[in-house]
Amino acid sequence: MKRLALALRMLRRNAHAGEARVLAAALFIAVASVTTVGFFADRVQAALDRQANELLGGDLVVIADHPVPPAFLERAREENLARVETRTFPSMVSGPGGTSLAEIKAVGEGFPLRGRLRVADESMQGDGEIDGAPKAGRAWIAVPLVARLSAKPGDRINVGRASLLVERVITREPDSVLDYFGLAPRVLMNLEDLEATQLVQVGSRITWRLLVAGEADAIRRFDAAVRPQLSRGERVESVRDARSEVRVSLERAQRFLGLASLLSVILASVAVALAARRFSQRQTDGAAMMRCLGASQADIFALGAWQFLALAAIGCVAGTIAGYGAQAVLAQWLTGFFSVALPAPGPMPAVKGAVIGLVLVLGFTLPPLLRLRGVPTLRVLRSDVPVAEPSSLVAYGLGFVALASLVVWQSGDLKLGAIAVGGFTVALGVAALAGYALIRAVSRARAGAAGPWRYGLANLRRRTGASLLQVIALGLGIMAMLLLTLVRTDLIAKWQASIPPDAPNRFAINIQADQLPEVKAFFKDLGLSNPDLYPMVRGRLVKIGERDIRPADFTDERAKRLSEREFNMSWADRLRTDNQVVAGSWWKPGAGPEFSMEEGIAKTFNVKVGDTLTFDVAGSRFTAPVTNLRKVEWDNFKAKFFVIASPGVLEAYPASWMTSFHLGAGREDVVSRLVARFPNLSVIDLTAIMEQVKRISDQVSRAVEFVFLFAIAAGLVVLFAAITTTQDERVFEGAVMRTLGASRRQLVLTQLAEFLAIGLAAGAVAAAGAVGLATVLSERVLGVPYEFNWVVPVAGLLAGGLGVAFAGLLGTRKAVDSPPLAAIRAVS
Amino acid sequence: MDATGKEHELRQASPPAAGQPDIVRAEGLTKQVSTPDHDLTIVKSATFRVRAGESVAIVGASGSGKSTLLGLLAGLDVPTAGRVWIAGEDLFALDEDGRARLRGRLVGFVFQSFQLLPALTALENVMLPLELAGQDDARAKAQAELSRVGLAERLGHYPRQLSGGEQQRVALARAFATGPKLLFADEPTGNLDSATGAQVIDLLFDLNRENGTTLVLVTHDEGLATRCDRRITIRAGEVSAG
């Protein structure tokens, strides 16, 4: 305890020194960054967990793409379980002032079995929870429909052929915690009215659900009885396995934000290492004196360690408080995704922040502490006695291992963590090599420079290690900023520009075969171009070759998902112009049964040209070989099919048709008229989806930018730490130069030359990295060739050169302003 | 043993300490360092004793090895050959921490450059050795010690807020705070002007007398050396009685 008290007293005084502040600031930023994301993720997780059985609307749900087998209902009755059936499907609805695509949910008596809906009445003033669901002839509509249909409680809306009275407005549904991907707003109606809508037709995308609730034992028995009887297209979901795609996507987003927050941790570790090293250097003589006064090596080590731990505690507590505040900002920005208030976060993120702070301190202050411990006592008599430096490879190796473990822990996945560690290491390596080459080149060029500039550039070379560190830290920080600001807007603008102005912006689906001539005539009458109509048959892939398809056989999430659900298949005699055969060849006229598969899905299922596929369509099976693989343009907003059959294979099966068309601004009336004429049609507005995607991407990138702000702050701390590392040396050199007659201007120029060179090198590394990454993103992810934009390197060089020169001069003004003798005394 | 193989026996010439036990005993103490060209012997096989209560000046020209000898006697450095006993304890039979503990128990130091910890106040600097020795009433003792050196009003001042003379007085208070049996002083007036230096030396000798401490001081100040009971002269590493 005495050591602790003494250490705290020493720290109180040392706190005024730059290195203690740098260390605390670095830890503060690292912990704030990690806890911001941590607290936010915790709130989302809590919301998802809390809503899990409400999300289901019952304790257990049987979900099917066809009517739920009566045997399951019978079994639920035997177990005395409460039960209710629902049907959900997309459809157009129209009201007094407009039409909109909606997600219809027709529910039986007793819905919901778990959770309650929140609804607002006619006045729309406030909302409250309500039991049950609409009675026959009534509809409850989601908030967005009030504006889109100009319908309020008391008005009537049309769902298919049925006319329903709007009774209430749904403000929250138990089974949609997130309206993230729910592109169409909800219409809740009674199951009794479903038939009157006449919407349940061939090819309709209806999902049947049987919700059950009751005693836990009864639920378990029901689950055990039903699961073995499930056939294709049927599945059971309980609270335990209710892992929706939304949940998976959100978890992935959290993981990404978590990794982004680690960039600040990594930069902070550099600052901690630098600050701890300088701390140890400045304490060297004091430690020797204490040894002289009888302190043991353990005393010296403990005094230093307590000071670091106290600084860590300050940084962690302040960082956690800041993180708690900052997560509120994050939640505010991402609030559009959530239809419910997020619960308060738990304490775990704070614990995690503390662990990260501790790991940073333990991993990166140990080498300086060991150095201090081994200080020769003789230094009290002779200050030139050298201090043994611990092997930096072993010492900082420990730090690297600590950091790598943190990355793996934060990513929550060994593979992802290993990739991130590898990625960071490679990025650091490349930045280091590039930085080193630049420093060498610049210092070589110094021969041609005038007086003070030459000295400045010579210093750059002499302090290669410190200079390199500054270049890397700043380069990574500037690169993150360039990518998030200039490059991102640039890429999005390019991608949007790559979509032709007359590209289809509406899909019409669910067109029945007997409506085809009328639909064509409708388009013609309105002066729209003749629509391309594509047949669509829903079938399930049941075999590849002789191998049965079972979801459990796939590890790939997409393959698992696709193997569970029905595909939309089509048939065609000719290859469409926006498709391209990449393997095999398109069928000849009059050929037998053949399949053409999209190359991506073929890869997912590991299907090659020559393999045979067996599909189940409406209970009957047929088999044909895959004779070609197609590459499909995914971003032209036309109908796309994973599997296309040669003519003569699918025609006998029930099919619906779809088309896509372009509608200019102000022609929304076309949609209303189309739906009024053909109520079973669903029209999907792609511009709305595009806007939603853009909104989501804007919000997500703002969140990422926000997290990267911590990285920038950490980068600045590294810059400051790196500058102060060499500050004593600079002050001494400055004093010597002053004594030899150097003017203030010459001293400033010497410093300026060095910092300008470091900043420009960092800017160059950042710009090259940003352009490189942008090229990969553009060509691999967006499929748009990258066009080099001069603004990026210019902005990088300006940000680096000017920013670093300014910060550097500010940080070393002591070297210029101190009177020579005072400066020499202070250092020696 | 050095190259000459000579041993230097010191004559005992200090009546006040006669009959007292040895507080410091050096035998064949040698320090060599390697340079690229040859081995350099800084202290050559020094053998001598210092009796309890004596004051001894180690004198010699600049670079003669005075400070190296002091460092060896205090166990701050390790000899190439030879042994040192402090109050009967074989200094180099102890490990580094053992020597530190022994210093904490028996030895005080005063340095030319004061060696106060800049992070601590005057009071805290004086408390430091007491705390390191685990004493409970460190604060009270340190306050009393600072009063003795006339700095009762400057307890909360940091070293840089004190003049050179004041800093050296804090160093004296620190040195005497633990009640050491032996005080090593390395050029204690080297950084002070002559008037301040004289005051500090007066104080040093007063405290030494009051505490009954043995004083071993390194100096090139002839006036200071003559105030000591006897002197040890070192010339190019050769140690002899003065």
Contact yes or no for A285 and B115 at CB 8 A: yes
> Residue A486 above 50 pLDDT?
yes
Long-range CB contacts for residues A242-247, cutoff 8 Å, separation at least 24? A242/A52, A242/A53, A242/A55, A242/A56, A244/A55, A245/A181, A245/A561, A246/A178, A246/A180, A246/A181, A247/A48
The DSSP code sequence of A524-586 is HHTTPPPPPEEEEEEEEEEEETTEEP-GGG--SHHHHHHHHS-EEEEE-SS--TTEEEEEE-P
Name which of B101, B105, B129 is nearest A296 (Cβ-Cβ).
B101
Q: Looking at the complex, report in whole angstroms how far the Cα of residue A295 sits from the nearest Cα belonging to chain B.
A: 6
Task: Tell which phi-psi region holds residue B237, choosing left (phi > 0), alpha (psi between -120 and 50) or beta.
Answer: left
* Together in a domain, A618 and A489: no
Question: Which pLDDT does position A696 carry in this prediction?
Answer: 62
Residue in chain B closest to A5 (alpha carbons) equals: B131
Q: For residue B10, is pLDDT > 50?
A: no
Which segment of A242-251, A651-660, A748-757, B49-58 scores lowest on mean pLDDT? A242-251
Q: Which residues of B touch A293 (CB under 8 A)?
A: 103-104, 109, 128-129, 132, 174
Of A6, A286, A291, Cβ closest to residue B131: A6
Residue B90 pLDDT exceeds 90: yes
Q: Do B129 and A294 touch (CB under 8 A)?
A: yes
- The least confident of A469-473, B94-98, B103-107, B230-234 is A469-473
Chain A positions in Cβ-Cβ contact with residue B77 (cut-off 8 Å) = 376-378
Whole-angstrom distance, CA of residue A501 vs CA of residue A776: 26
Is it the case that residue B216 has pLDDT exceeding 90? Answer: yes
Does any domain span residue A212? no
* Beta-carbon pairs below 8 A across chains A and B: 80
Minimal Cβ distance to A380: which of B115, B128, B158: B115
Is there a single domain that holds both residue A511 and residue A494? no
Measured between beta carbons, which residues in chain A are less than 8 angstroms from residue B174?
293
Minimum Cα–Cα distance from B187: chain A residue: A381
Residue A210 has a pLDDT of 92
Residue B181, pLDDT score: 92
From the list A484, A466, A488, A477, the residue with the least C-alpha distance to A264 is A477
Is B115 near chain A, with CB under 8 Å? yes
Report residue A634's pLDDT band, with 50, 70 and 90 as the boundaries: low
Which of B67, B132, B158 has its CB closest to that of A382? B67
Mean pLDDT of B175-202: 88
Q: What is the pTM of this model?
A: 0.68
Residue B77 clears pLDDT 80, i.e. is over it = yes
Tell me which of A276 and A563 has the higher pLDDT: A276
Helix and strand tally (H, E) in chain A?
Answer: 25, 22
CB atoms B119 and A286 under 8 Å: yes
Instruction: Specify the amino acid at residue B220.
Output: H
Asked whether residue B42 carries a pLDDT value surpassing 80, the answer given is: yes
Q: Name the residue of chain B whose CA is nearest to A292's CA.
A: B100
The span from the CA of B110 to the CA of A353, in Å, is 46
Average of pLDDT values for A253-258?
70
pLDDT the model gives residue B56: 94
Buried b (16+ CB within 10 A) or exposed e, A460-492: bbebeebbbbbbbbbbbbbbbbbbbebbbebbe
**Residue where the block lists tokens 């939640």:** A331
Nearest-angstrom CA–CA distance, A561 and A564: 5
From CA A676, how far away is CA B77, in angstroms rounded? 100
Top mean pLDDT of A466-480, A633-647, A769-783, B24-38 is at B24-38
pLDDT tens-digit profile of B117-173?
Answer: 877 889 988 988 888 777 888 889 999 999 999 999 999 898 888 998 999 999 999
| CB contact (8 A) between residue B131 and residue A2 | yes
Domain edge (last residue) among A123, A157, A192: A192
Handedness of CA A507, A509, A513, A516 (dihedral sign): negative
Into how many domains does chain A fold?
A: 4
Answer whether B106 touches A (CB < 8 Å): no
Residue-level pLDDT at B85 = 95
Partner-chain contact A292 B103, CB within 8 Å: yes
Predicted ipTM beyond 0.85? no
Q: Does the distance separating the beta carbons of B76 and A380 come in below 8 Å?
A: yes
pLDDT at position A139:
93
Test mutation, A284, A285, A293, A825, chain B, max B CBs within 10 A? A293
Q: How many angstroms separate the Cα of A639 from the Cα of each of A218, A503, A587, A668, B222?
A: 46, 12, 20, 21, 105
**Alpha carbon of B21: minimum distance to chain A alpha carbons (Å):** 24
Do A519 and A694 contact (CB within 8 A), yes or no? Answer: no
Residue A619, pLDDT above cutoff 80: no
pLDDT of residue B65: 85
Nearest residue on chain B to A289, alpha-carbon basis:
B115
Please indicate, yes or no, whether residues A514 and A599 belong to a single structural domain of this protein: yes
**How far, in whole angstroms, is CA A223 from its chain's centroid?**
35
The pLDDT value recorded for residue A712 is 75
Q: Kindly determine whether residue B119 and residue A293, on different chains, have CB atoms separated by under 8 Å.
A: no
Average predicted confidence (pLDDT) for chain A? 80
Q: Mean pLDDT throughout A145-158?
A: 86
B134 vs A contacts (CB less than 8 Å): 2
Q: Does B237 touch chain A (CB under 8 A)?
A: no
Q: With 70 as the cut, is the pLDDT of residue A250 above it? A: no
Q: What is the pLDDT of residue B7?
A: 39
User: Three-class SS of residue A339?
Assistant: coil
User: Which residue out of B34, B120, B139 would a mutagenesis test of the A interface target, given it has the greatest number of A Cβ atoms within 10 Å?
Assistant: B120
> What are A325-328's contacts with CB under 8 Å, separation 24+?
A326/A32, A326/A36, A326/A706, A327/A35, A327/A36, A327/A37, A327/A38, A327/A39, A327/A40, A327/A43
Residue A225 lies in a domain: no
Report whether B43 contacts B27 (CB < 8 A). Answer: no
How many residues are given for chain B?
A: 242
Q: What's the whole-number mean pLDDT along residues A233-239? A: 77
Residue with tokens 């050559």: B44
- Asked whether the predicted pLDDT for residue A782 surpasses 50, the reply is yes
CA gap B161, B143 in Å, rounded:
18
* A66 located within any domain: no
Q: Are residues A606 and A514 in the same domain?
A: yes
Q: Are residues A693 and A549 in the same domain?
A: no
Provide, as residue numbers in chain A, all residues whose Cβ is less than 8 Å from the Cβ of B115: 285, 289, 292, 380
Q: What is the pLDDT of residue A318?
A: 95
User: How far is the C-alpha of B179 from the C-alpha of B181, rounded, in Å?
Assistant: 7
d(CA A604, CA A613): 14
Nearest CA in chain B to A13: B119
Domain boundary among A146, A170, A192: A192
Which of A493-497, A540-544, A801-805, B35-39 has the lowest average pLDDT?
A493-497
B-chain CB neighbours of A297 within 8 Å are 96-97, 100
Q: Is the dihedral of CA A69, A72, A74, A80 positive or negative?
A: negative
How many other CB atoms sit within 10 Å of the CB of residue A432?
16
Strand pairing category for B55-59 and B230-235: parallel
CB contact under 8 A, A293 and B67: no
Residues A48 and A173 in one domain: no
Lowest mean pLDDT among A164-173, A368-377, A553-562, B153-162: A553-562
- Condensed to tens digits (0 to 9), the pLDDT of residues A511-521 reads 888 888 888 88
Residue A97 lies in a domain: yes
DSSP for residue A87: E
Residue-wise pLDDT for A570-617, tens only, equals 998 888 888 889 999 998 888 889 999 988 888 888 889 999 999 988
Task: Look at strands A595-598 and A620-632 and give their pairing.
Answer: parallel
Kindly tell me if the per-residue pLDDT of B9 is higher than 50: no
Residue A15 three-state SS: coil
**∠ Cα A722 A377 B159 (to 5°):** 65
What are the tens digits of pLDDT across the range A338-349? 555 677 888 888
3-state secondary structure chain B: CCCCCCCECCCCCCHHHCCCCEEEEEEEEEEEEECCCCEEEEEEEEEEEEECCCEEEEECCCCCCHHHHHHHHCCCCCCCEEEEEECCEEHHHCCHHHHHHHHHHHEEEECCCCCCCCCCCHHHHHHHHHHHCCCCCHHHHHHHHHHHCCCHHHCCCCHHHCCHHHHHHHHHHHHHHCCCCEEEEECCCCCCCHHHHHHHHHHHHHHHHHHCCEEEEEECCHHHHHCCCEEEEEECCEEEEC
Are A2 and B134 a contacting pair at CB < 8 A?
yes
* Chain A positions in Cβ-Cβ contact with residue B175 (cut-off 8 Å): none
> What's the pLDDT tens digit per position in A9-35?
778 777 776 788 888 888 998 899 888
Task: Give the domain extent around A142.
Answer: 90-192
Output the pLDDT for position A336: 56
Among A65-74, A234-243, A672-681, the range scoring the smallest mean pLDDT is A234-243
Half-sphere exposure of A436 (CA within 13 A, CB side): 7
Tell me the pLDDT band of A52, cut-offs 50, 70 and 90: low
Give yes or no for B33 touching A (CB within 8 A).
no
On whether any CB of chain A is under 8 Å from the CB of B119, the answer is yes
Residue B14: the pLDDT is: 42
Interchain CB distance below 8 Å, B111 and A381 = yes
User: Distances from the Cα of A443 to the Cαs of A467, A758, A820, in angstroms?
Assistant: 11, 11, 27
User: Residue A84 domain-assigned?
Assistant: no
The residue among A6, A14, A291, A292 with the most chain B CBs within 10 A of its CB, best to mutate, is A292
Chain B residues with CB-CB distance to A382 below 8 A: 67, 71
**What residues in chain A have their Cβ under 8 A from chain B's Cβ atoms?**
2, 6, 9-10, 13-14, 285-286, 289-299, 376-378, 380-382
Comparing A67-71, A147-151, A665-669, which segment has the lowest mean pLDDT?
A665-669
Exposed / middle / buried, residue A387 (Cβ in 10 Å: 0-12, 13-18, 19+): middle
Residues of B in contact with A298 (CB under 8 A): 97
B158 and A13: CB-CB below 8 Å? yes
> CB neighbours (10 Å) of residue A700?
16
Same domain flag for A295 and A363? yes
Q: Which two tokens stand for residue B184?
A: 């090593």
Tokens of B66: 């005075």
AA identity, residue A293: L
B119 to chain A: which residues are within 8 Å by CB? Answer: 10, 13-14, 286
Q: Which two tokens stand for residue A709?
A: 């702000």
My answer on whether A269 and A377 are in the same domain is: yes
Is A239 inside any structural domain? no
B224 vs B208: CA distance, rounded Å:
14
Query: Chain B closest CA to A378's CA: distance in Å?
Result: 5
Q: Do B109 and A292 touch (CB under 8 A)?
A: yes
Q: Lowest-confidence range among A312-321, B96-105, B233-242?
A: B233-242
Handedness of CA A545, A548, A552, A558 (dihedral sign): positive
A249 has pLDDT over 70:
no
Residue percentage of chain B with pLDDT more than 70: 91
Q: Give the N- to C-terminal CA distance of chain B in Å, as an integer.
A: 22
Contact call for B124 and A382, based on CB within 8 A: no
* Residues A636 and A580 occupy one common structural domain: yes
A464 and A543 co-located in one domain: no
Q: Please tell me which residue, B52 or A683, carries the higher pLDDT value.
A: B52
For residue A136, what are the β-bridge partners? none
Q: Report all structural domains of chain B as residue ranges with CATH numbers, in order of start.
A: 15-241 (3.40.50.300)
Sheet holding B39-51, edge to edge: B89-90, B81-86, B22-34, B39-51, B238-241, B230-235, B55-59, B214-219, B182-186, B107-110
Determine which of A381, A382, A828 to mutate to test the interface with B (most B C-beta atoms within 10 Å).
A381
> Do A657 and A511 reside in the same domain of the chain?
yes
pLDDT at residue A243, rounded to an integer: 44
Q: Is the pLDDT of residue B24 over 50?
A: yes
CA neighbor of A573 nearest in space, from A470, A648, A488, A475: A648
Among the partner residues A286, A295, A382, nearest to B100 by beta-carbon distance: A295
Is any Cβ of chain A less than 8 angstroms from the Cβ of B165?
Answer: no
What percentage of chain A has pLDDT greater than the value 70? 86
Nearest-by-Cβ selection for A294 from B77, B104, B115: B104
Nearest chain A residue to B95 by CA distance is: A296
Higher per-residue pLDDT: A121 or B50: B50
Compare A638 and B2 and report the one with higher pLDDT: A638
Quickly state the pLDDT bin for A186 (edges 50, 70, 90): confident
* Mean of per-residue pLDDT scores for chain B: 85
- Residue A637 has a pLDDT of 65
Q: Give the residue on B whose Cα is nearest the Cα of A283.
A: B117
CA distance B15 to chain A (A): 31
| Whether A171 contacts A111, CB under 8 Å | no
| A277 plus A403 within the same structural domain | yes
Question: Helix, strand, or coil here: A501?
Answer: coil
**A738 is a domain residue:** yes
pLDDT of residue B6: 39
Mean pLDDT confidence for A503-509: 80
Mean pLDDT is highest, among A52-56, B13-17, B144-148, for: B144-148
Decide if A675 is inside a domain: no
CA distance A827 to chain B (A): 13
